[in-house]
Structure 1
Amino acid sequence: MKILVLNSGSSSLKYQLFEMPNEQPLCSGLVDRIGLEGSTITHKNLKSGKEEKFLIETPIQDHEAGLLKVTELLKDTEKGSISDNSEIEAIGHRVVHGGEQFASTTLITEVVKAKIKELFALAPLHNPPNYLGITVAERIFPNAKQVAVFDTAFHQSMPPLAYRYAVPKEMYSQLGIRAYGFHGTSHQYVSKKALKYLQNPNAKIISIHLGNGCSMTAIDSGKSIDTSMGLGPMGGLIMGTRAGDIDPSIIFHLINERGYSSKEVNEILNKKSGLLGLSGFSDMRDVKKAIEEGNKDAKLAYQLYAYRIQKYIGSFTAVLKGLDAIVFTAGIGENDPDMRAEVCKGMDFFGIQLDLLLNSQKTQTIREVNQKGSPVKILVIPTNEELEIGQQTFEIVRK
């Protein structure tokens, strides 16, 4: 069965085509700058185990035009892997916010689409383009089963102690104000890999997803019991441009005393804070380069980023009442050994003991970077959200 995975953003469209159930990737790519000048498609094709990469520069007016271009590439005799649209039996869509309505992957119906629209207010930057990707895919692949995989679903196992806020209860019951958590697809994927590696289905794990967006999850026996992000994807850890946890009184001070509008404050906390606000750079590679050049702001940003992660390791270890492993994943978590060392520094009393030599080595597979005999395993596991979406889509449609 061929399954297409789509991750639709406001001006981008990530895609990957899998042959299931053997999980063989056939094609993947990114449609970038949709509706903007300089639109491009980066397309990768796997033939005979070799990856071929193509860069196509072409105007792409909207998501429908983008998906049509992707369909052309998938059917191209040189670049593609199918001969007709009908070969794709199912499409798995990443949907960021599923609220309390969706605790698992689900087949998309008109009722499901209506509920996704109702959740626009909880994820205004993400759910609208996710929804748009669904409607476009329905038109281009009318015979394929459409499946929604929600970022928030993995965290629906959290108990009320973890997801409730200390606000009037009608805000929860009537307005849905609670912690939902995000990056669930990534946390679920790497935690499954970790449990298998540890050969312990009841292991207590802290998953640390560090990319441009960052989050951590406390996982007990494969279930999320707490996570760093809340109602939206802005809380918790310091991120590329997001502030993470702050005192809410800062928001009211800026609005009531300093004359900022709520829109301006939202823009600052979402797009002008985090590493960017602290150092002037949103990309961790640029932050590290600036540190090498003696930039004190960049050094503070790097240390503060790690410090916040350490605080969550402490709190989540308390929530789990023990710890068997921590898992580093996503772009920074997988590829920045210095950040892993900064996070693990001085954490011996938690049983977290990093082996600097193992930590400095690079592989593309799951690896252990802790000292021999360390009470807590330190694992680096490459995430693959697209494969997780493909797996969950396959499980739904084959029933």
Structure 2
Amino acid sequence: MSDLILVLNAGSSSIKFEVFEGSALRLLWLGQMEGIGAAPHLLVRDAARRSLADRRWTTDDAPGDHAAALGIIMDWLKGVMTGRRVSSIGHRVVHGGPDFAAPVVITAAVLRRLEALVALAPLHQPHNLAGIRAAMEHFPGVPQVACFDTAFHRGHPWEADSFALPVEFYDRGIRRYGFHGLSYEYIARRLAAEDPALGRGRLVVAHLGNGASLCAIRDGRSLDSTMGFTALDGVPMGTRCGQIDPGVVLHLMQAEGMTPAEVARLLYKESGLKGLSGLSQDVRDLEASDRPEASRALSYFAWRVRREIGGMAAVLGGLDALVFTAGIGENAAGLRARICDGLGFLGISLDPQRNARGAAEISATATAVKVLVRHTDEERMIAEHVLATLAAGHAAAA
């Protein structure tokens, strides 16, 4: 009987999953349940991206929460895993706080500590934990590992982690954590495998999707990130505002009379590309639109990303490569061109034809800085961590 690693990535209304076989991490199946609590849609594919399941619910029997959705996923999985068993489960957990600097086997005590961090990532953490609880119910006794989006950034210099507040606030955990760490770690490892010299170099990786951030990486380690205490900070995102003067928040509450809950909804769900355009958070919709608000939203996004690339290059003391990844970074050629326009002073220049076809390297020939496009794979990174964490635990117990 072969062993499987199940990787779960639970979001606010979705559960993504991938299933790997053996220590070689051969991908067997990947899928997601979207629209949990509204109009659920289950889509499952094999490693060749052939559809294995495609079901939509519009009736009263639709899964109404993450536990019910995971139950449907598990029923499907049990129907195809003849001769195999789920031997371990890995979870993406957005916030590890100041204490979790590496993946950890989940125990009741660990789960309680993660629950205490919900306020730091209110859009993500509750659903990450719901996925963990549901998996515990369906697979009692199977070891589970929490892998943190913040862990890759825990080695930052103090200056990169701190706010200019009285020091006791830092000691209470109010500091800059950074996110998307699993994606950055995956990209850093893959570049090092492709080109060891480049992997030791000065990299700015732009993880641009519905959530977006940038990371400065040198010698495979994170030095700084645009996200901070929460996943609101930095560049604008699909519905999140990115960097904002904290005085604006005070004004909204004091002069506009908004409650904390109303401000949170504005900053997390009604801002970013969606708020700027008044049209959509989807870059594809904005690029297809002839409305000036759509173009302005894209220009603002590119401006802020370009500004942060310059800042990350300053942290690194120069730049060897700029890497685009995630949904926007991997697919939006027009937005990549907007971002790179004006970065010639850093040695960045795009080849329009390479960029248009989404080549692995899109920089012009003989430019000083490579501009790369790479697919990120947080789920595989989690699976690698599960293997390593459980192996280390067994070794320690031996």
TM class, shorter-chain normalised? over 0.9
Q: Decide which moves more: 372-381 or 258-267.
A: 258-267
For residues 160-183 of structure 1, the C-alpha deviation after alignment (integer angstroms, 9 at most, x for no partner) is: 110100011111112x11000111
Q: Does the 8 Å contact 2:204/2:321 carry over to 1?
A: yes
**Corresponding residue SS for 1:3:** strand
The residue aligned with 1:349 is 345
**SS at the partner of 1:30?**
strand
Answer whether contact 1:195 1:203 (CA < 8 A) is retained: no
* 1:65-104 matched pairs, under 5 angstroms: 65-76=68-79, 80=80, 82-83=81-82, 87-104=85-102
Deviations 1:33-63 (A, max 9, x none): 2233x222111134xx562342122411332
- Which structure 2 residue ranges, 5 or more long, are not aligned? 393-398
Q: Would you say the 8 A contact 1:107–1:396 is kept in 2?
A: yes
Indicate how the Cα distance of structure 1 residues 50 and 310 shifts in structure 2: closer, same or farther if over 3 A, else same: closer
Contact kept, 8 Å, 2:94 with 2:150, in 1: the verdict is yes
2:357 corresponding residue in structure 1: 361
- 1:373, CA displacement in angstroms? 1.3
> Shift of residue 112 of structure 1?
1.0
Correspondence list, 1:107-118, <5 A: 107-118=105-116
Partner residue in 1 for 2:303: 307
Which amino acid is the alignment partner of residue 326 of structure 1?
Answer: L
Aligned to 1:220: 218
Aligned residue for 1:218, secondary structure, equals strand
| 1:259-270 correspondence runs (5 A) | 259-270=257-268
Tell me the equivalent position of 1:285: 284
Q: Which residue is 1:194 aligned to?
A: 191
Measure the CA separation in 2 of the matches of 1:351 and 1:20. Answer: 43
Match of 1:40 in 2: 41
8 Å Cα contact 2:358-2:373 kept in structure 1: no
Q: What secondary structure, in the 3-state scheme, does the structure 2 residue paired with 1:303 have? A: helix
Task: Please list, as runs of the form range in 1=range in 2, the aligned pairs for 1:238-277 lying within 5 A after superposition.
Answer: 238-277=236-275
Q: How far apart in 2 are the matches of 1:141 and 1:390? A: 17
In 2, Cα distance between equivalents of 1:204 and 1:74: 42
Which residue is 1:389 aligned to?
382
Instruction: Report the Cα distance in structure 1 between the residues aligned to 2:187 and 2:374, rounded to whole angstroms.
Output: 6
SS in 2 for 1:87: strand
- State the one-letter code of the partner of 1:313: I
Q: Shift of residue 216 of structure 1?
A: 0.3
Q: Distance in 2 between matches of 1:9 and 1:180?
A: 19
The SS at the match of 1:368 is coil
What is residue 183 of structure 1 aligned with on the other side? 180
* Aligned match of 1:169: 167
For 1:57, the equivalent position in structure 2 comes to 56
Which secondary structure does the structure 2 equivalent of 1:28 belong to?
A: strand
- Counterpart Cα distance in 1 of 2:178 and 2:329: 19
The whole-number CA distance in structure 2 between the counterparts of 1:357 and 1:146 is 45
In structure 2, the residue corresponding to 1:236 is in which secondary structure?
Answer: coil
How far does residue 65 in structure 1 lie from its aligned partner after superposition?
2.0
The aligned counterpart of 2:395 is none
**CA deviation map 1:188-227 (0-9, x unaligned):** 1112222333331421100101100100000011111100
Amino acid aligned to 1:45 = D
Deviations 1:79-119 (A, max 9, x none): x3x127x7111000110000111101111112211110111
Whole-angstrom CA distance in 2 between matches of 1:372 and 1:327: 16
**What is aligned with 1:25?**
27
2:396 aligned partner: none
Query: 1:89–1:143: 8 Å Cα contact kept in structure 2?
Result: no
| Structure 1 residue runs without a partner (length 5+) | none
Corresponding position: 1:9 with 2:14: no
**TM score, norm. by length of structure 1:** 0.93
The number of residue pairs the alignment matches comes to 384
Change over 3 Å in CA distance of 1:41–1:318 after alignment to 2: same
Classify 1:394/1:210 alpha carbon distance in 2 versus 1 (closer, same or farther; 3 Å).
Answer: same
The TM-score with structure 2 as length reference comes to 0.93
2:263, 2:125 → 1: CA distance?
21
Secondary structure of the equivalent of 1:16? Answer: strand
The answer as to whether partners of 2:177 and 2:229 remain within 8 angstroms in 1 is yes
What CA distance in whole angstroms lies between the structure 2 residues aligned with 1:17 and 1:34?
Answer: 21
CA 1:284–1:55: 2 relative to 1, 3 Å: same
For 1:68 and 1:166, how far apart are their aligned partners in 2? 46
Q: Which AA in structure 1 matches 2:45? A: K
1:135: how far off?
1.4
Give identity over the alignment, percent: 40
8 Å contact from structure 2 (residues 93, 146) kept in 1: yes
